[in-house]
């Protein structure tokens, strides 16, 4: 990197001395160098959004021996932006639910760029309840820029649909393991993101708003998305340090698209090892642990310093 | 701490933004901060809400000393909070406590849009959750008035996770059979709508309140055209099936009293 910079300075000198008009391309190279240097987060944002990044269905097919997709919310329609079904790993049945983007324009139009509507979230809940009925663990694969912010979604209650998922997933009596595989965008991600374990791929992101949104609202300049990305603490490493996720799953050099099977295999191992442990827990203690984990997330001070005995409260409520 | 001795801000006259009727402070108080000319419901400070709903002297505030940290180390965030605290006399965008309504005990939470747009960060999420757990623990119905622009972006991922936290508390109330009533006031959007605000056993809304997930400007950006008038209004949400009943402010106490009466034994 330093070598490149020295070369750049040399070239600038030369250009100046010889009165050459290469300043434009030189400053472009300089800008490119600065992107890598100043915003490693922005690189991840771009990797997480790549069209050729493997999506939920691609991972499911790599992880499962067999998989059948199940469609529809039973109320209104099937939402291709949010997929689900039953898969097997080593003969063990597991319910999979995931946000699904497309890998080209045509697919993205069909999948609404992975932005689920109320139907998608209601389908997810239907499949989750179905899994609970048959004591089947649930795996969710998160990859969306957010829930669909359109008038139809509003009219059919996208807020209510996500809220119901948050509520019901928190008390499901089966293990739930969540993976952020690409973009973890706000409520649309959290809508299938409440579970016992949460992992993120190395180059995935998870945040309350997009860097573009953060930039335009808080930095008052929608062009400052890169700067926003650095401020927002949205990488796997950030969330691990916050204690919000349980682990970071490595990707091939240059991104998971270079070797999806490598990462899929690690996801598969994590699913199996976690299920083995979580399956032994009684449903009550599974839920108590999950609730406690959710309850503990927050950063505030309390002057009085009194700590409520909330764990005791949970034990009592669930006895 | 919420000051119930001064529930209303000192403003000599208020002009209705809809019909331009001018009302004196006395008239505003007498009409529950509702326009005498057209019924427009003005935003209400949390203290005024409590004054309006709770029996006199019955409100005991809890968890009033929670103060948010600055998890993103965002420049100026602490200052912004202390400014909002000074302006509002509140520690954050929600006041919670126990109260009586026509003699019946309940846990009452009132969000304040005046405090950073009612945005939900760690403190709001924690206080609302504790209020619900207190209801669960003491077998009291829980009533929450919402007013929020959504999650508090300044707190990053922590604000998003408050949605899961409050929804989890709502799940516990379900499990234990504790009544949970929501009053949606103007405006209620974003992460609050997509969590506890949509999880009440009964959802009441004030007339004309804006209620939705994505804000109108975001939706207009998506479809590149203007939304029809009344889109996402309380009336729209009742028509679409997401609000049980629209209740004008002056009848709110009566309605809540009825709900408490019909949901508490003996
Ligand atoms: Zn008026």
- Tens of pLDDT, residues A85-122: 999 999 999 999 999 999 999 999 999 999 999 999 99
Question: Domain boundaries in chain A?
Answer: 2-33, 47-318
CB atoms under 10 Å from CB of A257, counted, come to: 18
**A11-17 mean pLDDT:** 59
Q: φ and ψ at A200, to 5 degrees?
A: -130, 140
Whether A94 and chain B come into contact, CB under 8 Å, resolves to no
Distance CA A33, CA A28 (A): 9
What is the rounded CA–CA span in Å between residue B205 and residue B197?
11
What pLDDT sits at residue A222? Answer: 85
Query: Which residues pair with residue A178 across a beta bridge?
Result: A140, A198
Q: How many domains does chain B have?
A: 1
Read off the pLDDT of residues B103-125 as tens digits, 9 standing for 90 and up.
999 999 999 999 999 999 999 99
Q: For residue B4, what pLDDT band results from cuts at 50, 70 and 90?
A: confident
Position B6 confidence tier, pLDDT thresholds 50, 70, 90 = confident
Give the model's confidence band at B10: pLDDT under 50 very low, under 70 low, under 90 confident, else very high: confident
Residue B30 pLDDT greater than 60, yes or no = yes
How many residues are present in chain B? 266
* Mean pLDDT computed over every residue of chain A: 89
Provide, as residue numbers in chain A, all residues whose Cβ is less than 8 Å from the Cβ of B175: 171, 317
pLDDT of residue A319: 43
Please report residues of A whose CB lies closer than 8 A to that of B125: 298
Contacts of B67 in chain A (CB under 8 A): 300-303
- Average pLDDT value over all residues in chain B: 95
Closest by CA position to A64, among listed A170, A173, A137: A137
**If you measure from the C-alpha of residue B50 to the centroid of ligand 1, how many angstroms do you get, rounded to a whole number?**
24
The pLDDT assigned to A313 comes to 56
Residues 6+ apart with CB under 8 A from B5: none
Flag if B213 and A168 touch (Cβ within 8 Å): no
Please tell me the pTM assigned to this model. 0.91
Q: Is B155 on the interface with A (CB under 8 A)?
A: yes
At A3 the pLDDT is 56
CATH numeric code, A47-318: 3.90.226.10
Specify if B197 maps to a domain. yes
Q: How confident is the model at residue A34 (pLDDT cuts 50, 70, 90)?
A: very low
* pLDDT greater than 60 at residue B37: yes
Range of the domain at B146: 43-263
The answer to whether B172 faces chain A, any CB pair under 8 Å, is yes
d(CA B121, CA B69): 10
pLDDT for residue B232 is more than 60: yes
In a domain, B20, yes or no: no
Chain A with chain B: Cβ pairs closer than 8 A: 190
Cα B69 to ligand 1 centre (Å):
40
Q: Is residue B11 domain-resident? A: no
8 Å CB contact of A163 and B167: yes
B26: three-class secondary structure by DSSP: helix
Query: Are A160 and B71 in contact (CB < 8 Å)?
Result: no
Selecting from A149, A164, A300 the residue whose C-beta is nearest the C-beta of B68 gives A300
| Domain CATH for B175 | 3.90.226.10
In a domain, B112, yes or no: yes
A28 vs A142 pLDDT, higher one: A142
């Amino acid at each position: 990197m330093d070598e490149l910079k020295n070369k750049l300075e040399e070239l600038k000198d030369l250009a100046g001395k010889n009165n050459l008009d290469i300043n434009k391309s030189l400053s472009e190279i300089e800008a490119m160098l600065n992107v890598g240097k100043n915003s490693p987060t922005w690189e991840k944002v771009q990797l997480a959004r790549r069209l050729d990044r493997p999506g939920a269905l691609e991972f499911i097919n790599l992880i499962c021996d067999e998989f059948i997709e199940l469609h529809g919310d039973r109320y209104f329609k099937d939402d291709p932006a949010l997929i689900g079904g039953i898969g097997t790993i080593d003969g063990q049945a597991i319910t999979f639910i995931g946000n699904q983007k497309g890998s080209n324009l045509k697919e993205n139009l069909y999948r609404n760029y992975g932005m689920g509507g109320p139907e998608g979230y209601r389908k997810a809940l239907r499949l989750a309840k179905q899994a609970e009925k048959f004591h089947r663990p649930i795996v969710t694969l998160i990859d969306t820029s957010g829930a669909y912010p359109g008038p139809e979604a509003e009219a059919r209650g996208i807020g209510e649909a996500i809220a119901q998922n948050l509520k019901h997933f928190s008390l499901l009596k089966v293990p739930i393991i969540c993976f952020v595989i690409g973009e973890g965008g706000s409520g649309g991600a959290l809508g299938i993101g409440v579970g016992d374990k949460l992992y993120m791929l190395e180059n995935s992101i998870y945040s309350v708003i997009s860097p573009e949104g953060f930039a335009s609202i808080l930095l008052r300049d929608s062009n400052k998305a890169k700067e926003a990305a650095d401020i927002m603490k949205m990488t796997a490493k950030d969330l691990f340090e916050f204690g919000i996720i349980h682990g970071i799953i490595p990707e091939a050099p240059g991104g998971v698209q270079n070797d999806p099977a490598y990462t899929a295999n690690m996801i598969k191992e994590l699913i199996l090892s976690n299920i083995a442990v979580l399956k032994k827990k009684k449903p009550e203690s599974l839920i108590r642990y999950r609730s406690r984990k959710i309850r503990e997330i927050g950063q505030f001070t309390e002057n009085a310093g009194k700590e409520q005995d909330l764990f005791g409260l949970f034990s009592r409520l669930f006895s | 701490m919420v000051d119930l001795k001064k529930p209303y801000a000192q403003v000599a006259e208020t002009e209705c933004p809809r019909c331009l009727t001018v009302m004196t402070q006395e008239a505003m108080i007498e009409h529950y901060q509702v326009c005498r000319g057209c019924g427009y419901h003005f935003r209400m400070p949390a203290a005024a809400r409590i004054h309006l709903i709770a029996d006199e002297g019955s409100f005991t505030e809890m968890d009033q000393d929670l103060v948010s940290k600055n998890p993103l180390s965002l420049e100026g965030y602490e200052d912004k909070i202390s400014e909002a605290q000074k302006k509002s006399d509140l520690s954050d965008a929600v006041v919670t406590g126990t109260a009586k309504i026509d003699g019946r005990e309940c846990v009452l939470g009132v969000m304040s849009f005046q405090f950073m747009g009612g945005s939900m960060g760690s403190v709001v999420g924690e206080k609302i959750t504790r209020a619900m757990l207190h209801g669960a623990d003491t077998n009291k119905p829980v009533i929450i008035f919402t007013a929020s622009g959504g999650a508090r972006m300044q707190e990053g991922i922590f604000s998003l996770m408050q949605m899961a936290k409050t929804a989890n508390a709502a799940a516990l109330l379900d499990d234990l059979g504790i009544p949970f009533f929501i009053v949606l006031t103007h405006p209620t959007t974003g992460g609050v709508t997509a969590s506890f605000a949509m999880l009440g056993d009964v959802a009441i809304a004030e007339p004309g309140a804006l209620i939705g997930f994505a804000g109108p400007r975001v939706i207009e950006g998506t479809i590149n055209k203007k939304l029809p008038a009344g889109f996402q209004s309380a009336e729209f949400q009742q028509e679409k099936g997401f609000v049980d009943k629209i209740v004008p402010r002056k009848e709110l106490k009566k309605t809540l009293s009825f709900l408490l009466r019909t949901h508490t034994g003996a």
